[in-house]
Every structure is written in C-alpha cells, then in structure tokens.
Amino acid sequence: MCGIVGYIGNSQAKDVVIKGLKRLEYRGYDSAGIALINGSLSIKKCKGKVSALEKLLSDSEKGSIAIGHTRWATHGEPNDVNSHPHVSSSGKIAVVHNGIIENYNALKLKLQEEGYKFYSETDTEIVAKLIESFIDKNPSIEFVKAVKLALAQINGTYGLAILNSDNPETIFVARKGSPLLIGVGEGEMLIASDASAVAEYTDKVVYLDDGELAIIKKDEYQVINADDVELTKEVHELAMSLEEIEKSGFPFFMLKEIFEQPKTISDSLRGRINVEDGSITLGGITSVMDKLVNAKRIIIAACGTSWHSALVGEYLIEWLAKTPVEVEYASEFRYKDPLIGEGDVLFVISQSGETADTLAALREAKEKGATVLGIVNVVGSTIARETDAGVYLHAGPEIGVASTKAFTGQVTVLALIALSLAQHKGAIDKKSSKKIISALSKIPSQVEEILKQSDQIKEISNLFTYAPNFLYLGRSYSFPVALEGALKLKEISYIHAEGYPAAEMKHGPIALIDDMMPVVVIASTKHTNDKMVSNVEEVKARKGRIIAITSPSNEEVRDLAEFSCMIPETEDVLSPLLSVIPLQLLSYYVAVNRGCDVDQPRNLAKSVTVE
C-alpha cells in the first residue's frame, strides 16, 4: 500500500527520497510524488511508476529536505491530481499520507464554506488545508501547534509527513494506525513507512507509536505524545542487510525468495530445536506457556497466505498438542462480536506485522482480556509490538507481493509451537517428538532437492500458461496447501484458480472438469493416500489434466497423473513445507510466461494497511 519516505541532511534529498520510493515499490502503488524545499516548496507528482516521477525532476530541483510518496488509491482514481503530495492554498504546506481520513467529507465542506478550494478527490488534501486554516486564523501560531489542532479534528488512520516552507529545516510526522519510523543518521535523518527505505543509510531506527508526533531536524528529533509530553524513545538496531532487499541476480524478488527457503527455514529453526534430546526452545513464548497449556481452545486470526498457514497450524496443534483450534479471517473476527476473554489465547499471524484487519482482531481480543500472541516476520512491526509475546520467523525481508518464504517460515514456527505445547502438556511421547524434530531438521535440504526440479516445473507451466482456470485439490494437511497454490496463481498470473478439499470436489466443482481443466493434486500425506487415489480417478474419468505433487509413498497417484513432481518423504504433519514449493514455482513460471509483473501484481499491495 502507500509508502512514505523523507530525508533531511547534507545529501541531495531528492536522490535519497527517489531511491527510498523505489525500495517501497514492492508494497504496491499506482502513482508517486515528491515535495522539496529549496527556498520555496516544489512539488512533482504523477500517475505511474517512480521512474516516471524521476523523469519529471530536473537538476535544478536541489535541496536538503524532501518528502515522497507512493500512492495506492483509496479515495479517487489513480491520476496525477490525486497523487500525493497535496498542498495548502498558499503553496507553503505539503502533505503525504498513508491511511484513510474517515471524516474528510465533513471537514472538506467546512473548509469549502470558509473559502478553501479543493482540486483532488482525495481525503488527504484536507490535511494541508486544515493546517493552513489554523494559521490563517492565527498567523502567529507555531506551525506544530497548527498541526496538532488539525490532527485533533481528524478521525481515521494516518501516517503523515508534512513540509512547510516557513520551517525549511524540519520534517513533521504523525502516526495513528499507519506505520512510521525515523532513521537516525549522522547529521541526517530519514523517515519512512517501512525500514527497507532507510536501511541503506542507517541501522538505527525509532518506531513511532499511535498518537505520536515527531519534529525532525537533521541533527535531532523530538517525539511528543497526544498529551504533549516529550518522550524518550528507544533506538532499535535494524538487522537488515542491503543484499536482503536486492534481487541479487534473480529476475524477480519472488524467485529469489522461493530459492531462499532452505536458508530461511533453517533460520527459523536455528537455536530452537535439539535433535539429540528432542527439546524445543522458544524464548518468545516461555512466559506464556502456562496460559497456552491451560487454554481450553486456541484461536488463530490472519489474512491471505497467513490465514492458510493458520489452517496448517490448526491441524498441527490439534494433532500434536490436542488443544482445539479455531481459525478466523482477521477481517471477519471483530464483526461477529467474538466470544473471547480471559483464559483464551489468540495467535495472530502476519508477515508484515502491519495488516490492518489482523491488528484490529488483535486489539479486539486484547480488550476482551485474552492473551494475544504473534507469529510475525517483520521485527519491530506494530503487531509484534502490541502482542503479549510471540515468535519471529527470521525469514528476512519479503519483498515479492506474493508471499512464499513467509508461508514456510510460519508453518515452521507453528510446528515448533505445536510440538512445544504438546511436550508441555504431555500430549506426545518422547520418541514421536524426537522423530518429528529430526524430520524438521531435514526440511531445508529436502526443499533444496525440490528446487532442483524447477526446470521440470517450468516445462509443465509452459503447457498450461493460457489455461483460463485451475483447480487445486488436497486433503488434510494438503488442503491449506491447495488453497495457497490457488492463491499464488491467481494473484500473480490473474488466472482464476480454486483450492478445494479433494472430496468436496464431488459436491460441485466436478462439473467444471473437462479436458481443458488443469487439476493440481497435492497427494503427499500417507494417511490420506488411498482416498486421494479415488479422487484422482474421478478427475481422470472426466479427462481432467492431472498435475500431481506426490511423494514416493503415493506412487499410485503419480501413475495416474499426466504430469508429476516428486517431493521427498517426510512426516505427514510437515508435508506442507515441501508440497507448497512446486506450487510456488508453477505459479511463478506461468506468470512469467504470461508477461505479468510478478513482484508487483495489479491492484495488490504487499501489506494491506487499510481495512
């Protein structure tokens, strides 16, 4: 979704901001813009890519202070006028904004009555004009006071960065519900909605919390809260290398991230399992293990791919730890007035740690007294900070919009949590526990083996590039994998695809099967093998084109399939970690064949920060 970058210091601010905006392109956007101060305020903005914005900038646009924005349209279509920054009537105040101002219509009407003219259809333009209205009413007012008065009238969510040509050495930022951080440099400061935009310049960051406003100069920053109290904020060290946020020779981030999985899964396991004695160490949730052990049920809330890993988590926790689990769409959770309270445990799963619906579910459960735990990738993200405890994935930055390594990281962490809980509850014997831990430790090298089959998967994808529909079928642990495979294909290649529990096919989707329909069958769990064979026969009888993901113990399915990809044998509970890999590759190659922009699919955003 929208991205914000700002810079103040001795370098050319526009260069730093443009570079930062490029780093944020992965978040998804439709237009871009920049405001610079060099004597007066200069604004350049346009629909389209950051490279198009770059072309609008001339060498004369110099200066040591600038803010920039990538916009993902919410209010008003993507066009030049609606792009940010938006300016006040005097042309002295420029604003970039992430989030949604819910009462903008009422504020706009009031300002229009006062004579202010509006040019865009956005909710953001009111911010610049509202601030200016306080200055117009009281010309001697301190600028920051006018900002505070404006913020007090705004309902909704915002990450805001503001420039004022009368304060040419200061960037003002404010946060409510939309992430913002300050990158603290030597004689320079950056602001951004995402750490990847500042990682090249500094490894020291200050995360703003809701209700905070910061006044940033090149050598110092001041953060004040809603009660006007100055705060001493913790300076965090950013553990993000440049290599992690660059393509490193791969044509797309998605492919790089698929191939990183042997390493990212190892990183998720590192220091947490002991194959010799079968023990598990999860420091992040030790303090709440009693609550987990005593919980009558566990609820998991998430969105998209994270919701699919939650479904795998349901199987893992119920099967290993024998605690009932309910999986909820985070976006629906609040609206059912959930029956949750003290004694309940809610896990939220989020790669970005910023998904608005997941954050809202977390807050709802917390308010009702539940213990709230996080399974998050981005360190220091809002969800990571607001949960009572949690486990990080350690998968490194995921830049491709289609989530890949985060899914396997989440499932790895869920397997660890399920096993650890099972051990604490005495629900699993030592021998079985050791067997699963040993199987877990082999997953990274097994993923490596599957990746070696990428050429073969590419050949299969060549044959189905122009199929209009795909069906994905799986049972038990493979059902969430079927959902995930279908989502991957949909989001990056725009082919309609559906994931189904294999047996449900008979209750409707079987009507779709003919000799044009590719049916991807995930048959990699031993305990459902026989039943899967029957389902595959049913597809074959209707001439469906079967692509099977099987393991050596499912040879019958392989023999029935037109195409197959063999994955190594593992414990059934861990099979999603392997069976998802060919599906990621299949969707990637199909999308590339169709000429799609794999890393930035149309209409999608990497982290969905509006509800």
Question: What residues act catalytically?
Answer: 2, 606
- Binding flags for ligand M6R, 96-135, as an x/- string (CB under 6 A): ----------------------------------------
Ramachandran bin of 211, using left for φ above 0, alpha for ψ from -120 to 50, beta for the remaining angles: left
Shortest spacing between CB 157 and ligand M6R, in angstroms: 16
Minimum CB distance to ligand M6R smaller for 261 or for 433: 261
Contact 482, 520 (CB under 8 A): yes
Q: Which of 254, 327, 401, 567 binds ligand M6R (CB under 6 A)?
A: 401
What single-letter DSSP state applies at residue 568?
A: -
Q: Which helix (H) or strand (E) holds 65?
A: strand 65-71
- What tokens were used for 533? 């064979």
Q: Which helix (H) or strand (E) holds 95?
A: strand 93-98
Shortest spacing between CB 516 and ligand M6R, in angstroms: 26
Shortest spacing between CB 490 and ligand M6R, in angstroms: 9
Minimum CB distance to ligand M6R smaller for 267 or for 538: 267
Q: Which of 292, 608, 609, 610 binds ligand M6R (CB under 6 A)?
A: 608
Q: At what angle do helices 143-153 and 125-137 cross, to 10 degrees?
A: 120
Supply the DSSP string of 426-486, one letter for each residue.
T-S-HHHHHHHHHHHHHHHHHHHHHHTTHHHHHHHHHHHTT-SEEEEEE-TTHHHHHHHHH
Ramachandran bin of 508, using left for φ above 0, alpha for ψ from -120 to 50, beta for the remaining angles: left
Minimum CB distance to ligand M6R smaller for 231 or for 604: 604
Minimum CB distance to ligand M6R smaller for 404 or for 433: 404
Shortest spacing between CB 383 and ligand M6R, in angstroms: 8
- Binding flags for ligand M6R, 287-326, as an x/- string (CB under 6 A): ----------------xxxx--------------------
- Binding flags for ligand M6R, 576-605, as an x/- string (CB under 6 A): ----------------------------x-
Edge to edge, the sheet with strand 158-164 lists: 86-87, 93-98, 158-164, 171-176, 212-216, 221-224, 230-231
Quick check: 264 binds ligand M6R (CB under 6 A)?
A: no
Minimum CB distance to ligand M6R smaller for 554 or for 600: 600
Q: Which stretch binds ligand M6R (CB under 6 A): 114-122, 183-191, 351-359, 434-442?
A: 351-359
Q: What is residue 70's three-state secondary structure?
A: strand
C-alpha closest to that of 255 among 72, 457, 106, 419 = 457
Minimum CB distance to ligand M6R smaller for 306 or for 554: 306
If binding means CB under 6 A, how many residues of this protein chain bind ligand M6R?
Answer: 17
Shortest spacing between CB 89 and ligand M6R, in angstroms: 38
Please give the Cα distance from 514 to 611 (Å, whole number).
Answer: 39
Quick check: 42 binds ligand M6R (CB under 6 A)?
A: no
Please give the Cα distance from 384 to 485 (Å, whole number).
Answer: 27
Q: How far is CA 360 from CA 190, 300, 303, 326, 372, in A?
A: 28, 13, 12, 17, 12
Minimum CB distance to ligand M6R smaller for 8 or for 483: 483
Supply the DSSP string of 518-531, one letter for each residue.
EEEEEE--GGGHHH
Quick check: 403 binds ligand M6R (CB under 6 A)?
A: yes
Q: Which stretch binds ligand M6R (CB under 6 A): 28-36, 287-295, 398-406, 506-514?
A: 398-406
Q: Which of 352, 454, 476, 550 binds ligand M6R (CB under 6 A)?
A: 352
Q: Which residue type occupies 479?
A: F
* Distance of alpha carbon 300 from the chain centroid: 17
Q: Which of 161, 288, 372, 402 binds ligand M6R (CB under 6 A)?
A: 402
Q: Which of 98, 133, 165, 358 binds ligand M6R (CB under 6 A)?
A: 358
CB half-sphere exposure, 297, CA atoms < 13 A: 9
Q: Which helix (H) or strand (E) holds 35?
A: strand 31-38
Contact 150, 127 (CB under 8 A): yes
Q: Which stretch binds ligand M6R (CB under 6 A): 33-41, 352-360, 457-465, 497-505?
A: 352-360
- Binding flags for ligand M6R, 481-520, as an x/- string (CB under 6 A): ------x---x-----------------------------
Q: Which stretch binds ligand M6R (CB under 6 A): 347-355, 412-420, 499-507, 560-568?
A: 347-355
Residue nearest to ligand M6R (CB): 304
Contact 268, 393 (CB under 8 A): yes
Shortest spacing between CB 411 and ligand M6R, in angstroms: 13
Q: Which stretch binds ligand M6R (CB under 6 A): 64-72, 395-403, 532-540, 576-584?
A: 395-403
Q: Which of 83, 193, 355, 412 binds ligand M6R (CB under 6 A)?
A: 355
Task: Give just the sign of the alpha carbon dihedral 218, 220, 226, 232.
Answer: positive
Q: Where are the beta strands (DSSP E) in 296-370?
A: 298-302, 325-329, 345-350
Q: Which positions touch ligand M6R (CB under 6 A)?
A: 303-306, 350-352, 355, 358, 401-403, 487, 491, 604, 607-608
